[in-house]
Amino acid sequence: MTWIYIAYLAALLYVSTNRQRFGHPGSLRLAWLYYAAIGFSHFFFTLFRAGNFSDSRDLALVEIWSEGVQWLLLGISLVYLAGTVAPPRDDAAVSTPPSPPV
């Protein structure tokens, strides 16, 4: 899973260095925040792994939760990054139903 983190870091760095092309700097900040939370959660779950090293069942449960939380944080960060890169949505065009043919 490390390669996903590296590829995503490269995408975040690209979008951060080319801020003029993309809008919504608040979304980019939140994407970085959730990406940084992956490292903190890894550290937090490593402490749990160290405490439950003798019991294999608890160690397996900690590993499942660790992977799940890391995937969740990566997904949330990806949603915010997509909000940064995507063009602004035109609500007027979306809410207007098409007119029937005459």
What pLDDT was estimated at residue 37?
95
Residue 34 and residue 73 in contact, taking contact as beta carbons nearer than 8 Å: yes
Give the span between the Cα atoms of 38 and 33, in whole angstroms.
9
Model pTM? 0.76
Query: How many other C-beta atoms are found inside a 10 Å radius of the C-beta of residue 87?
Result: 7
Amino acid at 95: S
The one-digit pLDDT tens for each residue of the chain (102 residues) are 678 999 999 999 999 998 788 777 788 899 999 999 999 999 998 888 887 777 778 788 888 889 999 999 999 999 999 888 876 666 655 566 667 776
